[in-house]
Chains A and B, each alone.
Chain A
Amino acid sequence: MDALLFRTATAPSPPPMANKRPCPSSSPSPAAALAAAVAAAASSSSSSSSSAFGQIDHLFDAFLSLADSFPSSSSSSSSSSLSSSSSSSSSSSRSHSIDLSFDRLLDARTSDRDQALLIDRALRLGSAITEAARRSARKRAAKHNSVAWALPPDLTTKVFSMLDSQSLCYAAATCSLFNKCAMDPLCYTNIDLTTVVPKVNNAVVSTMIQRAGRALQSLKLGIVPGPTMSPGSSQPLVYTIRSSVDVSNFSWNDKKTRQGKESPILTRTCLSPLSADGSAAGILLRRLHLYNIERMDSASLCTALSVCCSLVDLEIVGLHVELRQLLTSVGLNCPLIERLFFESSKTGRDDSLKSPTCVELVNRCPHMTSLSLRGFKLHDCKVRTLVKGFRKLRYVDFSTSYSITGNFLRNLGSTSTGTLLEVLILRDCMHLKEMEVARFLTAVLAGDFKCLRHVDISNKEGLASEGDWYNRSYTSSVIPFKEVVEGRPDICLLADFPSEGGRFVQKCSFPYSY
Chain B
Amino acid sequence: MSSSPPPSSAAASPSCPKKMIALRSSDGETFEIEEAAALQSKTLENMIDEDCAGTPIPLPNVTGKILAKVVEFCSKHAEPGVDDESLRAWDAEFVNVEQATVFDYILAANFLEIPTLLNLTCNVVADMIRGKTPDEIRKFFNIKSIFSPEEEEEVRRENHWAFE
- A residues at B contact (CB < 8 Å): 134, 138, 141-142, 144-145, 148-151, 155, 158-160, 162-167, 169-179, 199-201, 204, 207, 250-252, 255, 257
Contact = CB atoms under 8 A, between A and B. Distances in A.
Nearest to A150: B103
Contacts of A149: 141, 143
A144 B133 CA distance: 21
Given A142-B146, A171-B137, A201-B161, A163 B126 contact: yes
Contact of A175 (B103, B147, B158): B147
B164 A175 contact: no
A179 B104 CA distance: 23
A145 B146 contact: yes
B140 to A, nearest CB: 10
Interface string B114-158: 000010001101100111111001100111111110011001111
Contact of B146 (A141, A163, A166): A141
B62 interface: no
10 nearest interchain CB pairs? Answer: A169-B162, A169-B159, A141-B144, A162-B126, A173-B134, A150-B103, A148-B142, A141-B146, A174-B134, A167-B130
A175 B161 contact: no
Contact of A252 (B132, B145, B164): B164
Interface residues on B, range: 35 or more
A175 B106 contact: no
A174 B143 contact: yes
A167 B125 CA distance: 12
B100 interface: yes
A165 B134 contact: no
A175 B146 CA distance: 6
A178 B137 CA distance: 11
A171 B140 CA distance: 12
B66 interface: no
A241 B145 CA distance: 38
B137 A176 contact: no
B164 A174 contact: no
Interface centre among B122, B123, B151 (most CB of A within 10 A): B122
B110 interface: yes
A260 to B, nearest CB: 16
A352 B94 CA distance: 54
A200 B95 CA distance: 35
A250 B161 CA distance: 10
A34 B122 CA distance: 55
30 contacts: A134-B148, A138-B148, A141-B144, A144-B143, A148-B142, A151-B107, A162-B123, A163-B130, A164-B130, A167-B130, A167-B131, A170-B137, A170-B162, A170-B163, A171-B134, A172-B155, A173-B147, A173-B155, A173-B159, A174-B143, A175-B145, A176-B147, A176-B151, A177-B146, A179-B155, A199-B161, A201-B161, A250-B164, A251-B164, A255-B157
A176 B100 CA distance: 21
Contacts of B131: 167
The prevalent SS among residues of A at the interface is: helix
A170 B107 CA distance: 24
Contacts of A155: 106-107, 110, 122
A372 to B, nearest CB: 25
A255 B134 contact: no
Contacts of A144: 143-144
Interface of B: 100, 103-104, 106-107, 110, 118, 122-123, 125-126, 129-134, 137-138, 141-148, 151-152, 155-164
Given A163-B129, A167-B131, A151 B144 contact: no
Contacts of A255: 157, 160
A151 B137 contact: no
A134 B126 CA distance: 30
Contacts of B142: 148
Given A149-B141, A150-B100, A173-B156, A159 B146 contact: no
Contacts of B125: 151, 159
Nearest to B137: A174
Given A150-B104, A173-B134, A176-B146, 8 more contacts: A149-B143, A155-B106, A159-B106, A159-B122, A174-B134, A174-B138, A179-B155, A255-B160
A204 B146 contact: no
A176 B161 CA distance: 20
A224 to B, nearest CB: 16
Select the residue from B118, B160, B161 with max chain A CB neighbours within 10 A.
Answer: B161
A8 B137 CA distance: 30
Contacts of B164: 199, 250-252
B134 A170 contact: yes
Contacts of B155: 172-173, 179
Contacts of B123: 162
A148 B143 contact: yes
B124 to A, nearest CB: 9
B138 A175 contact: yes
A148 B146 CA distance: 14
A169 B163 contact: yes
Contacts of B126: 159-160, 162-163
A479 B21 CA distance: 60
A27 B8 CA distance: 76
Contacts of A179: 147, 155
Nearest to A167: B130
Contact of A170 (B118, B132, B148, B158): B132
Contacts of A201: 161
B122 A165 contact: no
Contacts of A257: 157
Contacts of B118: 158
Nearest to B85: A509
Given A155-B122, A167-B129, A172 B146 contact: no
Given A150-B103, A150-B107, A179-B155, A159 B129 contact: yes
A250 to B, nearest CB: 6
A114 B158 CA distance: 44
